[in-house]
Structures are given as C-alpha cells and as structure tokens.
C-alpha cells in the first residue's frame, strides 16, 4: 500500500517527495512508513524494486489468449512490454544518481514471450530464446523515451520483428 501510494508521487516529484505526502496518499500516519522502512531512501529503493518486478508483467501477459495468430498475440504482448518500458523509465528518470545503481538491470527475457515463440518455433528463423530477446530489445529500442520521440506502434514492432525491414519482407 505504501509503495503503491509512493510510486506516482515519486514519478511526479522525484526524491523531493516527502514521507508526509506519501503517508497522506496511502491514508496512513507518517510514522507507519518508518515501521516498515528505516528511512525514505529505503522506501524509494522499494518502489524501484517494485517497478522492476517482472511478476505483474508476466501475470498480465498470461491473460492474453494465445489461440490467435502469432502476430496478434505478440502485438498484444508487445503493448504490455511497452507500458513496462515507459513505467521503468519514468521511475528511473525521477530519481537522482544515488539510486542509479538500483535502476541498472540486464534485460530479462520474459518466460511468456519465450513460451509463445516456442509454440511457434516453426515460423521462426531464430531459436525461441534468442527471438524473445530480439523482440524485447527491439521493443525497448523503439519505445524508450530517451531513444525515440514517438514510440513505434505495437503492431509495427511485431511486423518488423516477424518480417524484417527489407522490401521483400
């Protein structure tokens, strides 16, 4: 509850957010925060960890109906991946350098994406794990606000992933 209340405030105000504002947003006494977290920095690190947690993404991906054509399934999944890229970027860019060690992470291949691609491996030229990494890397590259002014649409990402950029693609 505290982390959920702190997240939008951290994005909006960065490290300047106060524990009083967080407590008010969570509907708790300010002292309650310090029963859970030793200090504000620990709370900020917990918010960062929550944003980087893959479980909510995997749960959302698992709700996608995979009985449809691969392009449709991947388009819906890619939209969720894009939401995650932006969410992580917003939090990472709202905190100062003291927290940058907490925001540097390696790309984790989504088990759901790899599983969907495994089911369709006959349609791929890459092994499913490699294809999943490529799709996720492509999604990051064409979505991240520091890398592009306008994120590419999920359907376009999937079309580029499945068919390439060549004229014959």
Domain that holds residue 6: 1-52
Same domain? 78 vs 22: no
- The pLDDT mean for the chain works out to 94
Q: Which two tokens stand for residue 118?
A: 């495994």
C-beta of residue 85 within 8 angstroms of C-beta of residue 144: yes
Residue 75: name the closest of 87, 85, 65 by CA: 65
Same domain? 95 vs 80: yes
Same domain? 123 vs 158: yes
- pTM attached to this predicted model: 0.89
Work out the pLDDT band at 66, boundaries 50, 70, 90. very high
The average pLDDT across 123-141 equals: 96
Count of domains forming the chain = 2
Same domain? 59 vs 7: no
Same domain? 110 vs 88: yes
Check residue 168 and give its pLDDT: 67
Same domain? 82 vs 156: yes
pLDDT digits (tens, 9 = 90+) for 44-56: 999 999 999 999 9
Residue 9: name the closest of 21, 49, 28, 158 by CA: 21
Answer whether residue 78 shows pLDDT above 60. Answer: yes
Q: Which of 52, 67, 91 is the last residue of a domain?
A: 52
């Amino acid at each position: 509850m505290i982390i959920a209340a702190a997240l939008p405030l951290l994005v909006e105000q960065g490290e300047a957010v106060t524990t009083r504002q967080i407590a008010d947003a969570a509907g708790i006494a300010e002292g309650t925060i310090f029963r859970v977290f030793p200090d504000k920095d620990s709370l900020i690190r917990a918010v960062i960890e929550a944003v980087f947690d893959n479980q909510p993404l995997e749960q959302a991906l698992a709700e996608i109906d995979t009985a449809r054509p691969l392009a449709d399934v991947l388009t819906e999944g890619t939209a969720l991946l894009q939401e995650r890229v932006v969410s992580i970027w917003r939090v990472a860019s709202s905190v100062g350098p003291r927290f940058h060690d907490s925001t540097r992470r390696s790309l984790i291949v989504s088990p759901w994406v790899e599983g969907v691609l495994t089911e369709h491996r006959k349609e791929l030229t890459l092994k499913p794990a490699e294809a999943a990494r490529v799709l996720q890397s492509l999604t990051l590259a064409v979505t991240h606000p520091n890398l592009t002014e306008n994120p590419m649409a999920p359907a376009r990402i999937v079309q580029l992933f499945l068919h390439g950029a060549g004229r014959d693609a």
